Amino acid sequence: MENLNTTATLSSEMKTFYDLTLIDEAQASLVHDQFGQKRPIPAGSGKTIEFRKFAPLAKAITPLTEGVTPSGNNLSVSTVTATVSQYGDYVTQTDMLELTAVDNTVVEAAKLLGRQAGLTLDTVVRNVIQAGTNVTYCPKVAADGTETEVTSRAALDESCQLTVDVVQQVVAKLRAQNAPTVNGKYIAIIHPYVAYDLMRDPEWVAAHKYGKPENLYAGEIGEIAGVRFVQSTEAKVYKGDGCPSGLAVFGSLFFGDGAYGVTDVNGGGLEIIVKQKGSGGTADPLDQRSSVGWKAVKTAQLLVPNYLVRVESCSKRFSATVEAN
């Protein structure tokens, strides 16, 4: 038997209100999604979406000849395609709840579904960009400070924490690969347990000290070594196969501008569906049920793999207890 709740008669104004409620709640969870190149849903063109990327121009080191117009250059564009998929969920409500509930249950359902939608769609993006092969493993650090290089996830241990030195190495790697910055800084998405270790460093600068709230990214907590850090509980946590025994591994993402692309949640990418009582026809002969749901079309794609580095680390305090996500 379905879990049931209730709804009221729907007007066009209320439909718009519910749409905005769903989108607002979803946007708050779209931490990974916010940095991707946005592409509209490909209406009427099948399930394949095309992301375009432009190759950099070679250096123009040949001196110009006086009075002679050079031959110029051409833009080189390549395409990366991805297949979109549809996601969604709903809740069913009863007329009795409508009669007896104190709260507007449709609004509450829209809020809960919006949060669910945001987390779902952000996870779709996260899983794609976490699959990149440009990986740095945090080194083992002995009690005397001696570092030992780590070359696999399974070889990590509790001493392999994210440090400012590792951040600086990753920044150097991105710069050496000509990864463009985002407004002068690189971006990193990290788990709160990774942030705990990093924020203890004296070089850490909290977000409120350098930026106005309206200029900060969703989830932004601070900056260090030329990287703006965004915190999310949905930052990837690995545990089990391929990980060190009994320990979770955190996958922190460092990237520059244009590293990956995503489909936009606006313009049909995400919508709410409200079915009022009586809309079910003979399936609901006594007008007892209504429903609130969402559906979305989503995909993501790595565009320039060298512009994104996954940094894998552990935490002395948290790796033994945190679960995979």
| CA gap 216, 288 in Å, rounded | 46
pTM exceeds 0.75 for this model: yes
Please name the residues in contact with 20: beta carbons below 8 A apart, sequence gap of 6 or more.
none
Q: What is the pLDDT of residue 20?
A: 66
Average model confidence (pLDDT) for the chain? 86
pLDDT tens, position by position, 168-180: 999 999 999 999 9
Statement to judge: residues 309 and 174 lie in one domain: yes
pLDDT tens, position by position, 73-99: 887 777 788 888 999 999 888 777 666
DSSP string for residues in 229-292:
EEE-TTSEEE-STTSPTT--EEEEEEE-TTSEEEE-STTTTEEEEEE-TTTTGGGSTT--EEEE
Statement to judge: residues 104 and 177 lie in one domain: no
Find the domain containing 248 and state its range: 135-260+305-313
Mean pLDDT, to the nearest integer, of 185-191? 97
Burial (CB count within 10 angstroms: exposed 0-12, middle 13-18, buried 19+), residue 228: buried
For residue 232, give the CATH number of its domain: 3.30.2320
Tell whether 100 is covered by a domain.
yes
Q: Are strands 186-190 and 227-231 parallel, antiparallel or unpaired?
A: parallel
Statement to judge: residues 252 and 140 lie in one domain: yes
Q: What is the pLDDT of residue 109?
A: 85
Ordered alpha helix ranges (H), the chain: 12-27, 95-100, 105-130, 164-176, 192-198
Statement to judge: residues 169 and 198 lie in one domain: yes
The Cα-based distances of 145 to 139, 149, 160, 201, 202 in angstroms read 11, 13, 12, 16, 18
User: What are the two backbone dihedrals, phi and then psi, of residue 253, each rounded to the nearest 5 degrees?
Assistant: -105, 125
Statement to judge: residues 162 and 253 lie in one domain: yes
Q: Which of the two residues, 170 and 43, has the higher pLDDT score?
A: 170
Statement to judge: residues 98 and 115 lie in one domain: yes
Q: How many domains does the chain have?
A: 2
Statement to judge: residues 107 and 85 lie in one domain: yes
Element (H, E) at 188: strand 186-190
Tell whether 98 is covered by a domain.
yes
